[in-house]
Amino acid sequence: MDRAEKIGLTLALIMLLGFFVLVVYAAKGLKIDIPTCITDVEPFQQGKLIKHADKRYELHILAKMWLFDFNEGATQIKLPVGSVVDVYVTSKDVVHGVHINDTNFNVMAIPGTVGYLRVKFEKPGVYHVVCHEFCGVGHHAMEGKIVVE
Amino acid sequence: MRVEGAIRFIILSEIVFPIVLLIFGIYHGVMQVLYRAGFIKAESFLGIDYYQGLTLHGVINVIVFTTIFIVGFSNALVMYALKKPLREKVQWIAWAMMIGGTLMAAWAMFTGRATVLYTFYPPLIAHWTFYLGAVLLVLGSLVPFFFDWIPNAIAWKRENPDQKIPLAVFGTFVNFILWTIMIVPVAVEILFQLLPLSLGLVDEINPLLARTLFWFFGHPVVYFWLLPAYVALYTILPKIVSEKGKLYSDPAARLAFVLFLIFSLPVGLHHQFTDPGITNTWKLIHALFTFGVALPSMITAFTVAASLEYSVKVEHPELKDSKFYWWAFLPYFKMEGLKWLFPFFFSGLILFFIGGITGIINASYNVNLVVHNTAYVPGHFHTTVGGLVLMVFFGMALYMIAKLKGTDVKFKGLAMISPYLWLAGQMIFSNAMMIGGLLEGWPRRTNSGLTYLNPDSPFYRPDWEGYALFSVIGGVIMGIAFLIYLVPFFATLLAPSTKESTIEFPFAEAYHDEPAPLLNNLRTWTVAAIVLAVLSYIPPLYDAAVRGVFFKSPAYIEKFPVPLKQLQQSKKEEPSGQEVVRR
Ligand code: HEM
Ligand SMILES: [Cu+2]
Ligand SMILES: [Cu+2]
């Protein structure tokens, strides 16, 4: 290996390690983490919005061909600005994808499992929830809304 | 090296058949941009539904085209590098399995019995011919490696005991070792989960386990597509730039291949960052290994740039001391010798530069939450598999066809324009897809023209319009680039033969070379790769099989929101009712 190759290799390694350290810092330090294995919440049969305290909610999203059930069949819900919501998702049938646009909530809905992330809705507005995994002929019309005001 | 008869036919068809199939594949690509932008507002066009077309696009372009072409290209490389003829019987068996498998799966897809996309996630289920066809295709592609190339390499080694195996063969072998290992998990998924469900032998499936097995295959497969292109970058590109061109370093090339062998497998969870049911510590470990597998690509970038510099400078001694100016002297548009191949490699390299960077973004664990399953993802991989891989394959296909037909490449000028046009289209298309996905969440795998990009729909999202428009412009330019490529391709294929048919490659010598016995010990590296892959997959597979999944799921088809079994029963109860179930 000549000098240039050694320098190149070292720089590449430093760069990649730097990226990794930043990612770990964001995940564990800033708590921007990704879904993990949930074993204590069973897959549910119905969507539900539960209020625990002021601006503290728990949301169970049931994805099914071809709608999001946010709360006993509702495909649209309202939340106050600044709400911190523990969002759980599962699927009634096939695999769906749940992306709450303009947030970091992006979780697959897989039947038999439960996905979880916490979201804070800081700005008022309409948050579109889009299914982004092919789930059958109605897939492109699988949309829900979370209105934050 | 002369080739005739069956072997000539087999290799030629392993190049021509996939490219002819690509006509269907790329047609659907162009249709998809039109549908997605709402230029076509329909469920289907000419009898093919959007998602059926998307299945064809994915399966043809990255499962069938790549696999068969790689077998043909590798056949030619290994044969020429070892100077040993191939075995007709072995080659016919492989050919029949691959073509037969493709036809089976094609029947299922074209008749709408397998609208499950190329990732075939259950509990959506396809007709059994789709799965069996896929299995035949991949198993067939292994036959030449085990029954033709390995015996030939052993014989070569016996005759040349103190030489290292040629680099082209080394790279090809690393690729097929990797291919063999990665096929195991997806074969388990198909044979033990999907086929039994599809045949009705079992009633339920664990979808998370299936996804995990799929991605155990699904990431390394991108290196199966990429490594043949890397082999060409290392062994052939320097000679394209200059007849006196050289590879900068042979050990560096081998190191890159060995790193790919080790790090390509323990990374599949980076496709499942957003999946529930798998402990995220393991996802983080796979993210770390994914950064590891970026390293050999960076080594390749270095070696390729250094080889280009060496090769330009031997031809232009006056540039000896230039640091950057030599870039201006690459043969960007020259017809003589092999220089006409340079535009293919150059366009591919530019695209792969973008693909590499955007791939690191994808792989960055929590950053993935922003882009997962948005249009960003297809934006990214059209610059990798639809970039470097496709461009190198197109160039090598044209080169090999001319050799095998015993003629010269026809319409070289058009051949040189097409990769640049592809590059231009791809820049527009992939950027539109990536930015639309990244900033605005425009989803992938979605016929968005019917709803999100339809002003009459309650779901209308005007902020996605601009990106959709640019994806159409770029996509159409790519379609035109492909049509232009087909002109020299068919003209060369159909031209009369004037010389004997041969297989030969302009392999470059290495500028830096030394014996590297440790690197060349593929057996040890293979064992290391398997051990690392198994260790990194035991905990996530345990999560997916046991801890994270509460119950299994019945099968569905894409048309009805009720399980398939239930549909079939209700059909039996009222035989006069509508013919709703297909099987
Ligand atoms: C004119 C050329 C092409 C155009 C316009 C095009 C366009 C597209 C579009 C718009 C999508 C996303 C569809 C969606 O997610 O709803 C897509 C997906 C895809 N494309 Fe292409 N494409 C082209 C060529 C290629 C080539 C040459 C390859 C590979 C060699 C390729 C491989 C893929 C794959 C693997 C997918 C993902 C399919 C899936 O999500 O199931 N494409 N293409
Ligand atoms: Cu869905
Ligand atoms: Cu990957």
pLDDT digits (tens, 9 = 90+) for B5-24: 899 999 999 999 999 999 99
pLDDT in tens, B378-402: 999 999 999 999 999 999 999 999 9
pLDDT in tens, B77-92: 999 999 999 999 999 9
pLDDT in tens, A91-139: 999 999 999 999 999 999 999 999 999 999 999 999 999 999 999 999 9
Nearest CA to ligand 1 atom 34: B58
Closest chain A C-alpha to B381 CA, distance in angstroms: 17
Question: Which DSSP letter does residue B145 get?
Answer: I
Pocket of ligand 1 (CB under 6 A): B 26, 29-30, 32-33, 36, 54, 57-58, 61-62, 117-118, 378, 382, 385-386, 390, 444-446, 475, 478-479, 482
For B182-276, list the strands marked E by DSSP.
Answer: 204-205, 247-249
**B115 close to B65: Cβ distance less than 8 angstroms:** no
Interface of A with B in 102-121 (CB under 8 A): 102, 104-116
B31 confidence band (pLDDT: 50, 70, 90) = very high
Q: Which amino acid is at A83?
A: S
For B132-258, list the strands marked E by DSSP.
Answer: 204-205, 247-249
**B297 close to B356: Cβ distance less than 8 angstroms:** yes
Cα–Cα distance measured from residue A74 to residue A126, given in angstroms and rounded to the nearest whole number: 15
With CA atoms as reference, report the closest residue to B199 among B274, B260, B132, B111. B132
Cα–Cα distance measured from residue A26 to residue B1, given in angstroms and rounded to the nearest whole number: 57
Beta bridge partners of A51: A57
Helix (H) or strand (E) holding B519: none
Residue A54: which region, alpha, beta or left (left: phi > 0; alpha: psi -120 to 50)? beta
**Do B276 and A27 count as a contact with CB atoms less than 8 A apart?**
no
**Do B365 and A34 count as a contact with CB atoms less than 8 A apart?**
yes
Q: Which of A108, A118, A127, A135 to mutate to test the interface with B (most CBs of B within 10 A)?
A: A108
Where b means 16+ CB within 10 Å and e means fewer, B87-104 reads beebbeebbebbbebbeb
Question: Which DSSP letter does residue A45 get?
Answer: S
Instruction: Write down the pTM of the prediction.
Output: 0.95
Question: For position B516, what pLDDT does the model report?
Answer: 81
Question: For position B578, what pLDDT does the model report?
Answer: 46
In angstroms, the Cα distances linking B420 to B118, B333, B387, B476 are 28, 10, 11, 14
User: Is B214 in the active site?
Assistant: no
Give the ipTM of the model, two decimals please. Answer: 0.95
Question: For position B155, what pLDDT does the model report?
Answer: 96
User: Is B289 in the active site?
Assistant: no
Nearest CA to ligand 1 atom 15: B445
Interface of B with A in 318-357 (CB under 8 A): none
Which of B30, B68, B219, B382 to probe ligand 1 with, by most ligand atoms within 8 A of CB?
B382
3-state DSSP call for residue A80?
A: coil
Question: For position B575, what pLDDT does the model report?
Answer: 53
Question: For position B520, what pLDDT does the model report?
Answer: 84
In angstroms, the Cα distances linking B510 to A2, B306, B465 are 14, 12, 51
**Do B292 and A16 count as a contact with CB atoms less than 8 A apart?**
yes
User: B566 versus B471: which is more confidently predicted?
Assistant: B471
DSSP state letters, B302-321: HHHHHHHHHHHHHH-GGGTT
Cα–Cα distance measured from residue A63 to residue A94, given in angstroms and rounded to the nearest whole number: 9
pLDDT in tens, B402-420: 999 999 999 999 999 999 9
Largest CA distance in chain A: 67
| Structural domains for chain B | 5-551 (1.20.210.10)
Across the range B527-541, mean pLDDT stands at 96
Beta bridge partners of A131: A98
**Do B548 and A19 count as a contact with CB atoms less than 8 A apart?**
no
Set B445, B461, B490, B507: catalytic member: B445
Structure tokens at B23: 């006509």
Average pLDDT for chain B:
94
Set B28, B36, B219, B271: catalytic member: B219
Task: Decide if pLDDT at A77 tops 60.
Answer: yes
pLDDT in tens, B454-466: 999 999 999 999 9
DSSP state letters, B193-225: IIHHHHTTS-SEE-HHHHHHHHHHHHTHHHHHH
**Do A137 and B553 count as a contact with CB atoms less than 8 A apart?**
no
Cα–Cα distance measured from residue B71 to residue B94, given in angstroms and rounded to the nearest whole number: 9
- Which ligand is closest to the CA of A135, given by its number? 2
| Among the partner residues B278, B295, B366, nearest to A33 by beta-carbon distance | B366
Q: Which amino acid is at B289?
A: F
Structure tokens at B121: 């996630």
Question: For position B4, what pLDDT does the model report?
Answer: 86
Phi, psi of A110 (to 5 degrees): -120, 125
Kind of pairing between the strands at A96-100 and A83-91: unpaired
Question: For position B579, what pLDDT does the model report?
Answer: 47
B519 confidence band (pLDDT: 50, 70, 90) = confident
**A117 close to A41: Cβ distance less than 8 angstroms:** no
Question: For position B574, what pLDDT does the model report?
Answer: 60
